[in-house]
Structure 1
């Protein structure tokens, strides 16, 4: 296996001249410092609930990018994992009386299991057929969320308690809740970063670039795809479970197909296949939604126009184009 890992070195993200690799590490370090600095000072500058929403969607977009940007699989049904986990976590917290971390873990595990079930069926096909299968299965999940008695139907699951973290940290306090969400986001994002830069991540990128060659090198392509799908679903579920805890509410919007479209928009806007692109894209979309909330449904027109402009001007996404201008391999 070590020989074949060497053979796919051309797909490695940091392939290139030493100076390019060094420059990439420097700029990635700058982005990490900026991100952590933002997490630390954000409550003093912005409304904490707004920032928590940003972080939940940023983690959701980064999880989706792991699948489309680094594996080459386009899912139109990721809202099923995001919304499904929100409902399961909310039910575990409200009805079963689980503590916050256990409730979030329950939603995440549910999303992973659902990801395995959906992925096992979807990876049998490629391209648009794969995308349509994920959309169809996600619509089944949406129908179940609408009809099952414990979800609250069109009213959603309301009154989810935040509880106490580790038994003594009151999450009803805004700052305590914020830094808990920030820690969850940072852990989830670090997991994605580690996956991308691991040998497993390099195999995923090899599959994205040239699946027949990866198959010829002896890799079980379907197994790698399924594992990537499950990991992406689990991390999307982590984001959805956290959002349910933050807003103490799980709604049909979380599981609707439009949510899958929004996460695609966030990823493409920031830069598909980049590390920090989905975070930047999600920040832009959520910020626009909040800033333009007063104009009603016209906000979608503005966001759509912004997306079209970015696609025309920044074909690699905002972060992708920035990396090109800086002449670095990845960002």
Structure 2
């Protein structure tokens, strides 16, 4: 009842933002701080992938290149450049965006499985380069001992670094939220639903896709940079294709095209992996894969996507409140029109 009233009043989005911010602030008090940092970083990574998958209609299996590439770039800036970690994280995000530009130019003209395979091929090429360029990347050993000092403060304690890295994650999530709610985001949704119609209306489809690809890579790079500084190393696994597969799984678990669903998927996967690893269980992939299959079969829109769909259905099914019945309450706005059949995941959530 409370959620239904909030949805009809148009304040549901603001309430969700406040609740999400509070959850992010108290998270290291509730769980192990390094795990809390992992959830925050993977949540931003999932939002970056959902920006491309849910709102542009492009499935990328190569986003590990931007996550891992930014991690290496951030580590190198700190280790060899002597820069503070905020500058290094920004530098890693810019590196990811620049790396995405040539990859996007060669990929965005493709769609579907072809786009996914091309991005996967590029990511594996970057993985091979990082593995062979041992003098710079450390090869299989990666970059070790990345410091976490800033303005003379020692942030080696994971609890304190969580709050130092959280502003970057929140800024990235806010940027993704603003993108999907902007006119640019509406054009992306129209391109996702009907590229031919968008092209007939005069929108340069490939240019919009390329910009979305670069923005998504920059957000993924921000998450990878915070992750590398938080853990003090940049590992070769961050560039491997399984990293891309894992973040896609998080997006699907939470709900494609919901943006915030990725945070839920990230929390579930990271917490489950930490619990199973702590318990000494070696078949982590079996458990996470089984849960993924069950959720996909039972919740076709994902966890948050299903909850949002039920809330919208409830709002549309509620009869309008008469003036006499609602005199003691605040005025309620008329319900929004139902989403078009061609857009199963409305933008802006």
Larger Rg: 2
What's the CA shift for 1:23? 3.2
TM-score by length of 1: 0.90
Q: Residues of 1 paired with 2:96 and 2:284: CA distance?
A: 30
| 1:117 aligned residue | 102
Q: CA 1:26/1:141 → structure 2, altered by over 3 Å: closer, same or farther?
A: same
2:201 to 214, 217, 220: 217
Q: CA 1:317/1:24 → structure 2, altered by over 3 Å: closer, same or farther?
A: farther
Q: Is 1:206 matched up with 2:190?
A: yes
SS at match of 2:81: coil
Alignment check: 8 A CA contact 2:199 2:205 kept: yes
Q: CA 1:25/1:297 → structure 2, altered by over 3 Å: closer, same or farther?
A: farther
RMSD of aligned residue pairs (Cα, Å): 1.7
Q: Residues of 1 paired with 2:105 and 2:43: CA distance?
A: 26
Report the more deviating stretch, 19-28 or 64-73.
19-28
What's the CA shift for 1:38? 1.2
Summarize the alignment of residues 18-97 of structure 1 with structure 2, pairs less than 5 Å apart: 22-23=7-8, 25-97=10-82
Q: Is 1:247 matched up with 2:203?
A: no
1:191 to 168, 175, 180: 175
1:172 to 133, 137, 156: 156
SS at match of 2:29: helix
1:162 to 148, 160, 183: 148
TM-score by length of 2: 0.86
Q: Residues of 1 paired with 2:27 and 2:6: CA distance?
A: 31
Q: Is 1:287 matched up with 2:271?
A: yes
What's the CA shift for 1:173? 3.8
Q: Figure out how many residues of one structure are paired with residues of the other and give that number.
A: 311
Alignment check: 8 A CA contact 1:170 1:176 kept: no
What's the CA shift for 1:134? 0.3
Q: Residues of 2 paired with 1:146 and 1:189: CA distance?
A: 31
SS at match of 1:309: helix
Report the more deviating stretch, 173-182 or 319-328.
173-182
Alignment check: 8 A CA contact 1:73 1:127 kept: yes
| 1:6 aligned residue | none
Q: Residues of 2 paired with 1:127 and 1:56: CA distance?
A: 27
Q: Residues of 2 paired with 1:308 and 1:30: CA distance?
A: 31
SS at match of 1:95: helix
Q: Residues of 1 paired with 2:114 and 2:81: CA distance?
A: 39
Q: Residues of 2 paired with 1:291 and 1:314: CA distance?
A: 24
2:284 to 288, 294, 299: 299
What's the CA shift for 1:289? 0.4
Q: Per-residue displacement from partner, 1:21-66 (whole Å, max 9, x unpaired)?
A: 9538433223212211112222222221110111011100000100
